[in-house]
Amino acid sequence: MAPFNLMITLVIVPFLFSSIVSGYSLSDIKKWCSQTPNPTPCEYYLSNNAFNKPIKNKSDFLKVSLQLALDRAQKGQENTHSLGPKCRNSQERAAWADCIELYEYTIQKLNKTIDPNTKCTEVDAQTWLSTALTNLQTCKEGFYDLGVSDYVLPLLSNNVTKLISNTLSLNKVPDQQQSYKDGFPTWVKPGDRKLLQSSSAASKANVVVAKDGSGKYTTIKAAIDAAPKSSSTRYIIYVKTGTYNEQVEISGKNIMLVGDGIGKTIITGSKSVGGGSTTFKSATVAAVGDGFIAQDITIRNTAGATNHQAVALRSGSDLSVFYKCSLEGYQDTLYVHSERQFYRECDIYGTVDFIFGNAAVVIQNCNIYARTPPQKTITVTAQGRTDSNQNTGIIIHNSKVTGASGFSSTSVKSYLGRPWKEYSRTVFMKTYLDSLINPAGWMEWDGNFALNTLYYAEYANTGPGSSTANRVTWKGYHVLTTTSQASPFTVGNFIAGSSWLPATGVPFTSGL
């Protein structure tokens, strides 16, 4: 993400509240709300809601706080809908449309967390609440993307985000307890375990896409549109060799796209912020439905290095996996937007912030290739954690960071990352760092912003760019020297991969 340094004027429009007074005493409200990072909106909304649910313990208070956040999100969604006719131009309408979609996703996540039938773990809940907060931040970012600096949006009030932050604080899970009872997320069936290697996945395909007409569909979008919206078993779409120039969004659950290999099955697009799209909607492929898998496919954005943000792949799919894929772009190539994600044996190409977002993601055994940027500065990552209680971060493990074919390091400065948001968290572990990496390792975003609150770390990296002798001296930067320090960021701990990755058939290393 590139900084725009624009100021949006926020006008907080007062909401109309019920005249029914809360069933809680003022002293009870103050006592419970004082335990949150944002007590003022907690007290205000709790005082102005007709809840009569008793609050006897922290668990009861979390349930009430979740309901408060959901109520305000639903009100925010209503306000957002009402603003549609007031959009003055295509830029405002594009950003507004993102917000409509993102509010819907936020409400879905809050409902899923509250629903007693979901039987989610604390880790599930923390993930979904982290996503709910990220969605609202992304809504705001769309207006920055398109330079809409004077648009008045009640939905940009901090009320909803502060209430969600409160629930994140109340539900917080210790870093090394990212695990599941009985070893499996409650909503994933162990019986779904299948070995989905390339040949077997293609042979088990539910439908075939082929440009030459030899399959059921000639476009990927047609196959996606016809796929079930929610399948209890894996629904496999085999995409034969060819270049598919289309924008694809996968909203169904448990869908897999499998191709004939990198450079053979290619999905390509060219939307960009420079071309009038928001970053969110510039993605050539966007995965939204949970449990998505992509394998043996190249995904490109060809907008070029001068068109600003131009996403090849965006994933907001929980428990999504990308195996033996090539993700090719320039600025903002891979948007690890939200939820839990895993990348294995992928190639990732870009220039500026080309792995960015706010998912809980591990990138393992991958090749990360820097391309020559016009602005002579490369930043591999830009992680977007806005709340210290979000269980998100970008972890790069046992991978390789080097220049792409034709890359020239002359007069180019390359960095491992920069803090897009206040609590940005990125860790490089056991990764080969080539000589292109600047001795400082990391780059500021804007002056001293986030340098004390970010968490950047390196552990047992190798290669000519791996020396930490002259690294930045920020308070938030750490050189990890023991396995106990690094273990919270492994596949097994950070995304509890041992409990759900076996079902995908994709190889992974659980520990260091």
- In our burial notation (b when 16+ CB lie closer than 10 A, e otherwise), range 103-115 reads bebbbebbebbbe
3-state SS assignment for residue 472 = coil
Task: For residues 163 and 347, give the distance between their C-alpha atoms in angstroms, rounded to a whole number.
Answer: 39
For strands 340-344 and 313-315, give the pairing: unpaired
Looking up tokens 């041992």 gives: 498
Whole-number Cα distances in Å, 45 to 65, 109, 320: 10, 21, 36
Annotated catalytic residue 98:
no
Whole-number Cα distances in Å, 336 to 2, 329, 359, 453, 477: 16, 14, 5, 21, 22
Both tokens of residue 476? 């938030």
How would you class 89 by CB atoms within 10 Å of its CB: exposed for 0-12, middle for 13-18, buried for 19 or more?
exposed
Both tokens of residue 430? 């056991």
Task: For residues 287 and 335, give the distance between their C-alpha atoms in angstroms, rounded to a whole number.
Answer: 10
Q: Contact 418/444 with Cβ under 8 angstroms?
A: yes
Instruction: Spell out the SS3 assignment of 136-180.
Output: HHHHHHHHHHCCCCCCCCHHHCCHHHHHHHHHHHHHCCCHHHCCC
The catalytically annotated residue of 145, 353, 387, 434 is 353
Q: Contact 147/154 with Cβ under 8 angstroms?
A: no
Polymer length in residues for the chain: 512
Q: Contact 102/76 with Cβ under 8 angstroms?
A: no
How would you class 57 by CB atoms within 10 Å of its CB: exposed for 0-12, middle for 13-18, buried for 19 or more?
exposed
Radius of gyration of the chain (CA): 22
For strands 265-269 and 242-245, give the pairing: parallel
3-state SS assignment for residue 336 = strand
Task: For residues 64 and 473, give the distance between their C-alpha atoms in angstroms, rounded to a whole number.
Answer: 42
Q: Which residues are tagged catalytic? A: 353
